[in-house]
A and B are shown apart, each in its own frame.
Chain A
Amino acid sequence: MTWLVYSLIVVFFWGIVGVFQKLGANHSTPDSLMVWTTIGYVNLLPFLFTGSHLTTLPPMAIAVGLLAGFANGLGAWFLLIALNKGATASVAVPFTALYPLLTIVLAITFLGERLTRTQALGISLALTAAVLLSYEKEVPKAI
């Protein structure tokens, strides 16, 4: 069950991030906020490099990690494009909360993951909850 403890830590940190994103929207363009977010990531690097095993990793493992970062960046960028193309945030943001669906499909197909009925029900409710929680009537405008 340690996965659940770590997942709740993720929910805590990313939940706070959501509040700062609301605050930052009035002081930054979305693209610029992504740039400064990455600078924040970079600030963590000196601490992360302590005890790192990067130099001993196989090239494939390194490629997967790099691609994970790139795919996440693309996800965020495509949402910004959707909003620029006229999507209302109250529709597009809850819609993109469905992103774990693809992760689930890929994990079942390629990693052979299996779920119990209770877990499947929990996942369905979690995805529905994520969509509902992301629904906002008004969203702060970026400058």
Chain B
Amino acid sequence: MSRNQHLLRWLPWAILSCVGWGIYGFLAKVGSAGVNATDMQILFTIGTFPLIAFFLFRRSGLGSDNKGRIIGTLIGVLAGLGGIAFFAAMERGKASLVGPTTSLFPLITVILARFALRERLNRVQMIGILLALVSAGLLAM
């Protein structure tokens, strides 16, 4: 398979992923104008059910061991708590500021992974950390 054919196989899906998450950010802002953050999180959770039902129906959603189930549930609790804060931020600030600021979350991931998982930071990530801190400073001005 040529490089272009390979790219054409996955790039449209990656673009669609950006579209999904981009629309999510926009709808979070629109919704948060009239709905409080905890109610938005309730609706958000129910909104994910059709997709999860599809995964369960085609049995692709069953491949976890016990540790995977616990970790997955923990991810949901933590992501949900973050989600409530996300809707609260959207209620109070511009979507065009909250969206990019909250997308800096890998900053915490790479730093924690460095200590908790002993992963090494690569140079690209180090530059990313620096830029993230500068950008946070600028957005706070």
Q: How far, in Å, is A112 (CB) from chain B's closest CB?
A: 10
CA distance A80 to B40 in the complex (A): 25
CB 8 Å contact bits of B2-33 with A (1 = contact, 0 = none): 00001001110110111111111111111100
Size range of the chain B interface in the assembly: 35 or more
B60/A71 in contact, CB under 8 A: no
Residues of chain B in range 75-95 having any CB-CB distance to chain A below 8 Å: 75-86, 88-90, 92-95
Within 8 Å by CB of A132, from B28, B60, B128, B134, lies: B128
Residues of chain A in range 71-111 having any CB-CB distance to chain B below 8 Å: 71-79, 81-83, 85-87, 92, 95-108, 110-111
CA distance A17 to B67 in the complex (A): 15
Contact A40 to B40, CB < 8 A, known contacts A61-B31, A85-B13? no
B25/A29 in contact, CB under 8 A: no
Please name all residues of chain A whose beta carbon is closer than 8 Å to the beta carbon of B141 when the two chains form the complex: 118, 122
In the complex, the chain A residue whose C-beta lies closest to that of B55 is A31
| Residues of chain A at interface, number, CB under 8 A | 112
In the complex, the chain A residue whose C-beta lies closest to that of B61 is A35
Within 8 Å by CB of B48, from A31, A41, A44, lies: A41
List 12 A-B residue pairs with CB atoms under 8 Å apart, sorted by A's residue number: A3-B98, A10-B82, A16-B112, A22-B113, A29-B63, A35-B52, A41-B76, A70-B47, A95-B18, A122-B100, A125-B131, A136-B125
Q: Which 9 A-B pairs have the closest CB atoms?
A: A40-B76, A15-B108, A69-B47, A36-B72, A3-B93, A102-B22, A65-B43, A18-B109, A75-B20
Chain B positions near chain A (C-beta within 8 angstroms): 6, 9-11, 13-14, 16-31, 34-36, 38-52, 55-56, 60-65, 67-69, 71-86, 88-90, 92-113, 116-117, 119, 122, 124-125, 127-132, 134-141
Chain A positions near chain B (C-beta within 8 angstroms): 1-4, 6-24, 27-29, 31-45, 48-49, 51-54, 57-58, 61-62, 64-79, 81-83, 85-87, 92, 95-108, 110-111, 113, 115, 118-119, 121-137, 143
